[in-house]
Amino acid sequence: MISTGIDVGARNVKVVIVNDGKIVAKIMVPTGFDPALSASDALRKAIEQSGLAESDIKQIIATGVNAEMTSHATGKVSMVRAMAKAGTYFFPNAKTVIDVGAEDARAVKCDEKGNIADFVANDRCAAGAGAFIEAMTRALELNLEEMGALSLKADKAIPMNAQCVIFGESEVVTLIHQKTPKADIARAVYDAMSDRISSMVRRLGINPDVALLGGVAKDVGLVSSLKSKLGVDLLIPEEPEFASALGAALSSSLEHIEDRVISLPKVELGDGDNGKGVKKEYWRWPEYRKTVEGMDPKKAKVITAGIDVGSVGSKAAVMLDGELYTWAIMRTGSNSPDSARKILSWALEGTGLTEKDIQYIVGTGYGRVNVPMAKKAITEIACHGRGASYLWGPKVKTVLDVGGQDIKAIRIDEKGKITSFLMNDKCAAGTGRGMEVIADLLSVPIQEVGAHSLRVEKDPPPVSSTCVVFAKSEAVSLLRKGWTKEMVLASYCNAMSQRMHELLNKVGIEPDFVITGGQSKNVGIVKRIERLIGFNCLPLPKKQNLELDPQTAGAIGAALFSKALYEKEQKA
Amino acid sequence: MIIHYGYQDGSGKYYVSIDAEKCDACKICIEKCPQKALKIETVMIDIEDKEVAVVHEAHRKKIQYTCASCHQKKELHCAIACKKGAIAATWVKK
């Protein structure tokens, strides 16, 4: 009996042909831009390799995220089922099968026949999936083999905060600039990932015979880290990357045989867009500084400053007796203390003031503990609450801060005191960084994303996944279907707004409502959130006809705390 | 001030919420948590610092797994143990 399995995955298409229980062909090709074409190509190559005729192939069972994209399949099987089959084919005693794919991961508990008893899948968030390692190799400028081998030479286990693929990259870049040895970084990447995978596996309970399948099982760095996290040895077959396709082939049963001849078109796969020349950076937003005219720092009794070193942008605000005087905003560099120094000196440029004239400085934001001239570090939640109260006045009750790498929903009372808050910094969906990734993918300048997204007659349904990694592949497939960029942006902004709305619901939304952070400037988000909550955000604040910037709310709040703390110090 | 620890991603909503004003840092929740996911930390309420129970950083991004066993048994040790009623949880799987 001849059966064929095909796994049309996120990165690669794998085909395995099994003849009377023996593997007669194994082929892997990249999924590329057109999964259907790549699937046909892989099937044709596999048939060639097997020495069989096309007419011998009667059953093709498909699996994988793009399984429905191939028209050749006679049946479909879930990845969980395919993995259970493959796991018990290789290791009849294996009761737990772990599969780590490019964009998802799963663990299956099964009996000796490969029947599933229980399973847990991580298919809504790319954390813990192969894409994580892949992104980190790019940041480390290593290839996969080098990174795995290097990680085994690590001396130190350093913790990594990022779980999300999108954030991991920036964390690795920061570690490189801190001169952390690459070996230690590589190990940290594997530890973060295996921590996530083992948390998932532990939910099923760990039996001694654990099989690890999927291409990631070839990565010595991950295998070593996962072994120590799980505390058991791992069973790994040769060529674990073909397990899914093999499992699919083994899932076919005689009952389903259709008498059909499969004809495969000859295909020419293009090279894709190699992006010749210098790539334009669509995510780049303008850096600037402003000073309020007609204010005299020489007459001020108290001069304070707030420095907000965010994950993406650094902001500084200087206040004279608690009134905003000057501010600046620029991209955060790889070194927080440098970014803090640069942004403050830029804010002070042309004012005649120097750092010494400032009586108290508070640091806030992601890099707040690394602001060398700050007397105190205060969380960005407190600073954004206070800053929003200053910018829009004490009527503000609900603040949504959309930062580069996190979203904060904050409730404040009429005194500007925080009554409840939440911060979502685990997932890049809905954050400024997520928006930058999509802007870059679609080649639309970041400042124009909102306006473009509103140029649709009717809002298309939101992209189904909020994970940026998945949304990116979804956006590509929507473009392939003929959607315009505007429609894709509308769909993405729609999904982001819904996510922000859900977070806001957790703390409760009460007017007056405002948005701070970079996304407050994205009309595509603002309009959609207003639609969802049923009332409008307060308009952008002004001071003497000068437009104030909600992205600086954190720095302003920090400068106000500086004043309060300075006065408290003077009294004591 | 209620602090919500946890997150929401494509798979659901997972939060542990601690009221920092009600919490008196008695540490009973820390002893009762089977996952050792709680600890005492200084949190700023307005401009005053206060010692309160918080969720450990290492667990904030994997509450979905950390708190799964308690939610399955419908027995939230931390919330039951807290005499001040300062701890609550949200658990919604999609």
Counting every residue written for chain A, the total comes to 572
Give the chain A residue whose CA is nearest to the CA of B16. A422
Structure tokens at A49: 């390799």
Question: Does residue A219 belong to any structural domain of this protein?
Answer: yes
Regarding whether A34 and A55 lie in a shared domain, the answer is: yes
**Closest A-chain CA to B68:** A203
On whether both A545 and A533 belong to a single domain, the answer is no
Express each pLDDT in A479-497 by its tens digit.
888 899 999 999 999 999 9
- Measured between CB atoms, does B2 come within 8 Å of chain A? yes
Whether A83 is covered by a domain: the verdict is no
Range of the domain at A214: 92-236
The mean of the pLDDT values for chain A is: 88
- Chain A residue with Cα closest to B57: A161
Q: Using one digit for the tens of pLDDT, what is the confidence trace for A168-212?
A: 888 888 888 888 999 999 999 999 999 889 988 988 887 778 999
Residue A85 belongs to some domain of the structure = no
Domain edges within chain B: 2-93
pLDDT of residue A342: 95
pLDDT at position A539: 87
Q: Distance (Å) from the C-alpha of residue A167 to the closest C-alpha of chain B?
A: 13
Peptide bond connecting A549 to the previous residue in cis, omega within 30 degrees of 0: no
Counting Cα atoms < 13 Å in the Cβ hemisphere of A554 gives 32
| Interchain CB contact of B30 with A (< 8 Å) | no
Higher-confidence position of A353 and A416: A353
The pLDDT value given to residue A183:
95
Q: What is the pTM of this model?
A: 0.81
Q: A388 and A417: one domain? A: no
Q: What is the pLDDT of residue A417?
A: 85
Hey, is the C-beta of B88 within 8 angstroms of any chain A C-beta?
no
Residue A301 has pLDDT above 60, yes or no: yes
In a domain? residue A276: no
**CATH number of the domain at B2-93, out of 1.10.3470, 3.30.70, 3.30.2010, 2.30.29?**
3.30.70
Residue A272 pLDDT greater than 70, yes or no: no
pLDDT recorded at residue A253: 60
Grade residue A341 by pLDDT with cuts at 50, 70 and 90: very high
Question: Is A530 strand, coil or helix?
Answer: helix
Do the chains contact at B11 and A122, CB–CB below 8 Å?
yes
Spell out which residues of chain A touch residue B91, defining contact as CB-CB under 8 Å: none
- DSSP per position, A372-390: TT-SEE--HHHHHHHHHHH
Q: Structurally, how many domains does chain A consist of?
A: 4
Out of A51-65, A261-275, B30-44, pick the least confident: A261-275
User: Within this chain, do residues A225 and A348 fall inside the same structural domain, yes or no?
Assistant: no
pLDDT of A252: 75
Q: Is there a single domain that holds both residue A443 and residue A389?
A: no
CA neighbor of A9 nearest in space, from A79, A65, A74, A86: A65
- A359 shares its domain with A310: yes
Residues A132 and A219 in one domain: yes
Give a yes or no: residue A84 inside a domain.
no
- Identity of the residue in A125, A422, A425 whose CB atom sits nearest the CB atom of B11: A125
Of A125, A420, A565, the CB nearest to B10: A125
Confidence band, pLDDT 50/70/90 cuts, at residue A277: very low
Point out the residue among B3, B8, B61 whose CB comes nearest to the CB of A163: B61
Say yes or no: A229 and A105 in one domain.
Answer: yes
Q: Which among A96, A128, A19, A5 is positioned nearest to A59, based on CA atoms?
A: A5
Q: Are A441 and A475 in contact (CB under 8 A)?
A: yes
The arrangement of strands across the sheet holding A96-100 comes to A116-122, A105-110, A96-100, A210-213, A234-235
- Nearest residue of B to residue A413 by CA position? B1
Interchain proximity B62–A467, CB inside 8 Å = no
A31-40 pLDDT tens trace = 887 888 999 9
> Which CATH number covers residue A208?
3.30.420.40
* Neighboring chain A residues of B11 at a CB cutoff of 8 Å: 122, 124-125
> Is there a contact between A188 and A221 (Cβ–Cβ < 8 Å)?
no
The 10s digit of each residue's pLDDT in A352-402 is 999 999 999 999 988 888 899 999 999 999 999 999 999 999 999 999 999
Q: CA A200, A204, A209 angle in degrees (round to 5)? A: 100
- The answer to the question of residue A518 being in a domain is yes
Q: Does B51 touch chain A (CB under 8 A)?
A: no
- Phi, psi of A24, deg, nearest 5: -110, -10
Same domain for A415 and A523, yes or no, is yes
The half-sphere exposure of B68 on its side-chain side, counting CA atoms within 13 A, is 14
Considering only CB atoms, which chain B residues are within 8 Å of A125?
Answer: 9-11
pLDDT, mean of residues A128-142: 88
Cβ pairs A/B, distance under 8 A: 79
Kindly give, in sequence order, each residue whose CB lies less than 8 Å from that of residue A245, ignoring residues fewer than 6 positions away.
A5, A6, A7, A14, A15, A16, A26, A63, A82
Residues in chain A within 8 Å Cβ distance of B68: 203
Whether A388 and A296 map to the same domain: the answer is: yes
**Cβ contacts (< 8 Å) between B4 and chain A: which residues?**
420-423, 506-507
Give the A-side interface with B, CB within 8 Å: 122, 124-125, 159, 161, 163, 195-196, 199-200, 202-203, 378-379, 382, 417-427, 429, 465-467, 470, 499, 502-503, 506-507, 561, 564-565, 568
A280 within domain boundaries: no
Q: Residues A337, A456: one domain?
A: no
Contacts of A279 (CB under 8 A, 6+ apart): none
Tell me the average pLDDT across B4-15: 86
Q: Is residue A282 part of a domain?
A: no
Select from A199, A200, A564 the Cβ nearest to the Cβ of B47: A564
Q: Residues of A with CB below 8 A from B57's CB? A: 161
